[in-house]
C-alpha cells in the first residue's frame, strides 16, 4: 500500500496561494474565488464537485461523480481525469482484482478528455464508480476522493505524481460496505486455480500473421481429466470498461465479444502450467485505426460454459495502423495501386461561412498514382465512444446516413501535393442536442464510388451546443 504525498501537495498549494494572495493584496487587486492550478502553460480551474449516491449503471450500483472545471492551454492533447480513493490515514485503497486500477495498483477510475479549445469548459463531467470496485471489507469507512488531471501517456511515469498535470479537489465521504453472506468456512476443495504470472511477446508472427503471444503460469486443483478452457476477453481500459465486440465471427464468445480460448485437460489433481501460450492476431481485435488503452480479462471456464476461476487482468497499449488497400481504377491496368500519404490535419473552430457557424477543417496530404482519378476527402463524425453521428442536413450525409462532409479532388499528376485542402462543416449538420459533447472526426481518402484508398487520421474535439 502506498502513502500519497498529500501533505506535500497541500503544502505547495498553500505556499502558492499565500504568495498569490500577498501579491494581490500589495497591488490592491481582489483575491480571485478560483485559483488556477498550473504546470507550465497548462492551467486548470476547478469549480465544483457533486456526487449522486446509490445509482445504477450497466447493472452495477455505485456513485456518479459530477465535476465542473475549465482547462487552459491544453487544446488537442490527451489527458485523463483520474479519481483515486484514500482511507482515513491518507493511504490509497489497493486494487484487488485489477479491474479499476492505475499502473501503481491503486483503486482508481478515469475518463479521457481531449480539449477542443484553448479555453474549454466542462460544466457537468461525469464519472461512474461501482461500489464493489472500492474492494473494501464489510464496515463503515471515512474515505476521500483525490481528483486529478493526469497526462495521457503513462509509459514514462516513475512514481505516483509523474503524470500529474493538476490536482483539482479532495472530496470527503463516508461509505458502508454491507456484510457479505456468511462464508462457507469449509476449505474449498472444488475446481479452482491459483495465478502465478503473465508475460507477453509483442510483434510476433505465426503462419505469417502478426500478433502477440500471451504466456501464463498458473496451477489448477481438483480438475484432473476435466476438460476446460483458458479464456481471454478484452476491455477498453479508459474508465468505461466496455468489452471489445467481434466483427468477423472468427474469435468470439457466445455474447459476441472478442475472445480467445485454449483447451486444457489436467492429468493431475494439482497440475501446474509453467508456460501456457495463446497467440492473439492483432487483426482479430477488430479495432479501427488508432491508439488504444486495453486490458485482458483472463479466466478459466468450464467446457460447457460457466466460470471456474479468475486468473488475472492485464493492462496494455495497442496501436492499430491504417490499412492501405490495393485499390486500382477501372483503367489502371497494371499501374501501381492508388495511395494517399497523410501529413497533418488542423481545425479552425467557430467560423462563419455565409452566415452559418461551423468549423473549417484543413488537411495536408499527397496522392500517389491517382492522376485524373475522381476522388474525395471524406470527414465522418462520431461520438468519443465511436458511435456514428446521424446525418440531419442535406449535403452533409454519407451513403450510410451518417454525418459527413466531402471535398472532391481530381489530381492533375500521378503524385500530387495538397498543402491545405479546406472543408467547411456547419455545426448544425452534426445534429447534436444542447449540452457538451466529446467528439471525433475520421478523415479518409476515398474513390468516387466510395472505395477506401487510405484512412488518414482521427481527431478528437469538444463541442458545446447552447
Q: What are phi and psi of 126, to 5 degrees?
A: -115, 140
Chain centroid to CA 22: how far? 42
DSSP state letter for 407: E
C-beta of residue 92 within 8 angstroms of C-beta of residue 434: no
Categorise residue 166: left if φ over 0, alpha if ψ from -120 to 50, beta otherwise: beta
What pLDDT, on the 0 to 100 scale, is given for residue 45? 92
Average pLDDT over residues 327-338: 57
- Could you report the per-residue pLDDT of 270-304, keeping only the tens digit for each? 899 999 999 999 999 988 888 888 999 999 999 88
Q: Which three cell numbers stand for residue 69?
A: 472545471
Query: Distance (Å, rounded) from C-alpha 230 to C-alpha 454?
Result: 37
Query: Distance (Å, rounded) from C-alpha 282 to C-alpha 259?
Result: 12
Q: Which ranges of 124-273 would DSSP assign to H, the alpha helix?
A: none
What pLDDT, on the 0 to 100 scale, is given for residue 162? 53
Query: Distance (Å, rounded) from C-alpha 118 to C-alpha 219?
Result: 53
What pLDDT, on the 0 to 100 scale, is given for residue 454? 92
Query: Distance (Å, rounded) from C-alpha 39 to C-alpha 151?
Result: 11
User: Is the pLDDT reported for residue 354 higher than 60?
Assistant: yes
User: Is the pLDDT reported for residue 4 higher than 70?
Assistant: no
Query: Distance (Å, rounded) from C-alpha 23 to C-alpha 377?
Result: 53
Query: Distance (Å, rounded) from C-alpha 391 to C-alpha 396?
Result: 7
C-beta of residue 375 within 8 angstroms of C-beta of residue 409: yes
Of all residues in the chain, the percent with pLDDT exceeding 90 is 43
- Could you report the per-residue pLDDT of 416-440, keeping only the tens digit for each? 999 999 999 999 999 999 899 999 9
Collect all residues with Cβ–Cβ distance below 8 Å to 304 and sequence separation of at least 6: none
Mapping DSSP to helix (H, G, I), strand (E, B) and coil, where does residue 11 land? helix
Query: Distance (Å, rounded) from C-alpha 342 to C-alpha 457?
Result: 8
Domains and CATH numbers, the chain: 6-177 (no CATH), 192-320 (2.60.40.10), 339-465 (2.60.40)
- Could you report the per-residue pLDDT of 92-113, keeping only the tens digit for each? 998 876 667 666 778 889 888 8
Query: Distance (Å, rounded) from C-alpha 52 to C-alpha 66?
Result: 8
What pLDDT, on the 0 to 100 scale, is given for residue 329? 41
Query: Distance (Å, rounded) from C-alpha 17 to C-alpha 272?
Result: 58
What pLDDT, on the 0 to 100 scale, is given for residue 260? 96
Find the range with the poorest average confidence among 117-131, 311-325, 364-378: 311-325
Q: For the stretch 50-68, what's the b/e string if a residue is b when 16 or more beta carbons lie within 10 angstroms of its beta carbon? A: eeeeeeeeeeeebbbbebe
Q: Specify the DSSP element, H or E, that contains 413.
A: none
Find the range with the poorest average confidence among 28-32, 145-149, 151-155, 269-273: 28-32
Chain centroid to CA 280: how far? 21
C-beta of residue 230 within 8 angstroms of C-beta of residue 215: no
C-beta of residue 161 within 8 angstroms of C-beta of residue 5: yes
Query: Distance (Å, rounded) from C-alpha 99 to C-alpha 101?
Result: 6
Whether the full predicted model's pTM is greater than 0.95, yes or no, is no
Q: Which three cell numbers stand for residue 118?
A: 484553448
Amino acid at each position: 500500500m502506498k502513502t500519497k504525498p498529500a501533505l506535500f501537495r497541500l503544502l505547495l498549494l498553500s505556499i502558492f496561494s499565500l504568495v498569490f494572495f500577498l501579491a494581490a493584496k500589495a497591488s490592491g487587486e481582489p483575491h480571485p474565488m478560483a485559483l488556477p492550478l498550473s504546470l507550465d502553460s497548462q492551467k486548470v480551474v476547478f469549480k465544483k464537485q457533486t456526487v449522486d449516491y446509490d445509482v445504477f449503471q450497466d447493472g452495477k450500483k455505485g456513485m456518479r461523480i459530477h465535476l465542473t472545471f475549465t482547462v487552459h492551454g491544453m487544446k488537442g492533447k490527451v489527458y485523463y481525469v483520474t479519481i483515486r480513493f484514500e482511507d482515513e490515514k491518507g493511504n490509497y485503497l489497493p486494487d484487488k482484482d485489477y479491474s479499476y486500477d492505475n499502473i501503481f495498483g491503486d483503486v482508481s477510475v478515469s475518463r479521457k478528455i481531449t480539449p477542443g479549445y484553448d479555453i474549454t469548459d466542462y460544466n457537468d463531467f461525469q464519472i461512474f464508480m461501482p461500489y464493489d470496485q472500492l474492494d473494501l471489507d464489510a464496515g463503515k469507512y471515512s474515505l476521500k476522493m483525490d481528483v486529478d488531471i493526469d497526462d495521457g501517456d503513462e509509459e514514462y511515469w516513475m512514481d505516483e505524481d509523474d503524470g500529474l498535470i493538476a490536482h483539482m479537489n479532495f472530496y470527503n465521504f463516508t461509505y458502508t460496505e454491507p456484510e457479505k453472506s456468511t462464508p462457507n468456512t469449509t476449505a474449498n476443495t472444488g475446481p479452482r486455480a491459483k495465478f502465478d504470472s503473465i508475460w507477453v511477446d509483442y510483434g510476433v508472427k505465426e503462419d505469417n500473421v502478426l500478433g502477440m503471444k500471451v504466456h501464463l503460469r498458473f496451477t489448477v486443483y481438483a480438475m484432473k481429466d476435466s476438460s476446460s478452457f483458458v479464456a481471454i476477453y478484452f476491455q477498453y481500459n479508459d474508465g468505461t470498461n466496455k468489452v471489445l465486440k467481434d466483427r468477423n465471427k472468427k474469435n468470439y464468445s457466445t455474447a459476441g465479444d472478442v475472445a480467445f480460448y485454449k483447451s486444457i485437460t489436467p492429468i493431475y489433481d494439482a497440475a501446474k502450467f509453467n508456460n501456457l501460450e495463446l497467440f492473439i492476431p492483432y487483426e482479430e481485435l477488430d479495432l479501427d485505426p488508432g491508439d488504444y488503452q486495453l486490458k485482458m480479462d483472463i479466466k478459466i471456464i468450464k467446457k460447457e460454459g460457466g466460470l471456474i476461476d479468475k486468473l488475472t487482468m492485464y493492462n496494455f497499449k495497442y496501436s492499430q495502423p491504417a490499412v492501405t488497400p490495393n485499390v486500382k481504377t477501372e483503367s489502371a491496368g497494371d499501374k501501381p495501386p492508388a495511395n494517399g500519404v497523410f501529413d497533418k490535419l488542423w481545425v479552425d473552430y467557430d467560423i462563419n461561412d455565409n452566415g452559418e457557424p461551423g468549423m473549417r477543417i484543413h488537411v495536408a496530404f499527397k496522392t500517389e498514382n491517382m492522376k485524373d482519378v475522381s476522388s474525395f476527402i471524406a470527414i465522418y463524425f462520431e461520438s468519443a465512444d465511436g458511435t456514428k453521428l446521424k446525418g440531419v442536413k442535406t449535403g452533409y450525409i454519407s451513403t450510410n446516413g451518417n454525418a459527413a462532409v466531402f471535398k472532391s479532388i481530381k489530381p492533375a499528376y500521378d503524385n500530387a501535393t495538397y498543402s491545405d485542402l479546406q472543408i467547411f462543416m456547419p455545426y448544425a449538420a452534426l445534429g447534436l442536442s444542447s449540452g457538451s459533447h466529446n467528439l471525433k472526426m475520421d478523415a479518409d481518402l476515398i474513390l468516387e464510388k466510395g472505395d477506401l484508398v487510405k484512412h488518414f487520421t482521427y481527431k478528437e474535439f469538444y463541442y458545446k451546443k447552447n
